[in-house]
Amino acid sequence: MRIPTTAFIRTNLHALKPRTVGLSRTCRVHKPITRSFHSSRVISLDFDPYKTLGVEKSADDKQIKKAYYDLVKKFHPDVNKEKDAEKKFHKIQESYELLRDKEKRAQYDRFGASAFDANGNANPYAGQGAQGGNPFGGFGGSAQGNPFAGMGFDFEDLFREAFAGGRGASGGGRGGGRTYVMEHVGDNIEVLKSIPFKDSIFGTKVTINYKAVDACTSCSGSGLKSGAKKKTCPTCHGTGQTTHIMGGFHMASTCPTCQGSGVEIAKEDECGTCHGHGVQEIPKSQTVDIPPGVSDGTRIRIPGAGDSPLVTKDAYNKLVKGDLILRINVQKDPVFKRNKNDLVIDQDILMTTAALGGEIVVPTLDGQQIKLKIRPGVQNGRKLTIPEKGVPINRNLKNRGNLEVVLNVKTLVPETPTQKALLEALADTFNDKNAKRTDADWSLDVEEGKDGQINETYDENDLHPSKLRRIGKVLGKFFNLDQNCDKDSKK
């Protein structure tokens, strides 16, 4: 299971400059796999840790550690999806916790499975009955009243370690290493790139220059000076967790000093370049193939080209870089528009061409010129379709949408007496009685004033009066200027 962590703050990177690209950033970390403790009746340990790890009782610490790591890689729940993989993984974890601790191992070797209960806690009744029913007789009591004296270890310390998350499991304070693996994932970086409209249709290559957090070039990500080593965290003693008692419950939380790593770097051992952080901001350049047919707002992901996680390299940490996300901004084209998989172009034609028919030439995004024949009487808004000249479908240049040509019929405006006379003659030919004539006696051939006929007449200019004229009319009605004018004219 991955949980978010706010352990590493960018402002702590003294050597880094403010970022110029990149958006939201998240770092995910695998939660250390620990065993929770529950109250239960005393039942002996139900597995043999030696058999679980596949080692002999005479195996040394190196052999036990090697066997453990081999099994962890095989049965980790993130890797092995078998049904019983997680259960086996917990058994492997508990076995290593027991054998890694010298005192716990000695206890198991002496008393066997009865030395611990089913939860892995030390069993205070192990060996009972050996001294005439005295539950502590097998341990040899002392004159000071300590029933555990003479055993060679402190049972209270054993319980304290168990409830503290098991120092034997992490090896902190005893010279051992952590027995779980953390996976840190770096942040994603998002960059906006504008490309021409034509490149979005046919595809192109672009070069992205940006800055990303990467392993320090001086210390290779360790955060240490040459020859220096990390030290066990003095707060958690290498466990990566601190324990608090609240209301009788033991609560574990991530160590605030080492942020769960179990180790820290002394000030004098820090790398002079990254100041112990193990990372620095480095200029990057990435060439990206833009596929044909991308639309505005498309995001292209380049895995592993983002930020490194803000942690130092460690034998027990798995570091995964974030991704580079390229967001495409398609520039507008003055001629072509896009409608899904089709390209659209508006083509102006004269009124005479629309009436008589003819031929027009339209451009294509490919650079070709196509001649189209127009039938007589074509109307404004008519669409003419040219196949296979549109947007590539599913990034395939051999399978494209259509080019839609929308006809925009332009009305002729006479500028000379000859043009006006010809248009009037055309109106007479088509019996257009609504068209205006230069003849002064011309009028619309309808009766005015009768029901259902024309009662009012407006000039076209009155249909869209200017603001000044509208204000004048409003003020005139308000002050009754029209009535006053009528009275004055009568006088």
pLDDT in tens, 168-199: 334 444 444 444 457 889 999 999 999 999 99
DSSP character string of 153-178: S-HHHHHHHHHTT-HHHH-TTTTPPP
**Distance between CA atoms of 385 and 350, rounded to whole angstroms?**
20
Compute the residue count for the chain: 491
3-state SS string over 389-426? CCCEECCEEEEECCEEEEEEEECCCCCCHHHHHHHHHH
| Tokens standing for residue 146 | 């300590």
Task: Please answer whether residues 317 and 311 qualify as being in contact, where contact means their C-beta atoms are separated by less than 8 angstroms.
Answer: yes
pLDDT exceeds cutoff 80 at 456: no
DSSP state of 263: E
CA angle 230, 236, 242 (to 5 degrees): 145
pLDDT in tens, 14-45: 334 334 343 334 344 444 433 333 333 445 57
Q: Domains in the chain and their CATH numbers? A: 45-120 (1.10.287.110), 185-218+279-330 (2.60.260.20), 336-410 (2.60.260.20)
pLDDT in tens, 138-164: 444 443 444 444 444 444 444 444 444
CA angle 337, 339, 340 (to 5 degrees): 135
Task: Please answer whether residues 258 and 317 qualify as being in contact, where contact means their C-beta atoms are separated by less than 8 angstroms.
Answer: no
**Distance between CA atoms of 477 and 483, rounded to whole angstroms?**
9
Q: Is 481 helix (H, G, I), strand (E, B) or coil?
A: helix
* Contact partners, residue 31, CB within 8 Å, separation at least 6: 1, 2, 3
pLDDT in tens, 331-349: 999 999 999 999 999 999 9
- Give the mean pLDDT of 422-443: 81
Task: Please answer whether residues 312 and 175 qualify as being in contact, where contact means their C-beta atoms are separated by less than 8 angstroms.
Answer: no
Higher pLDDT, 365 or 5: 365
Closest CA to 281 of 213, 222, 201, 353: 213
Determine what percent of the chain is predicted with pLDDT higher than 90. Answer: 40
Closest CA to 317 of 272, 263, 269: 263
Instruction: Report which listed range, 136-145, 385-394, 428-437, is most confident.
Output: 385-394
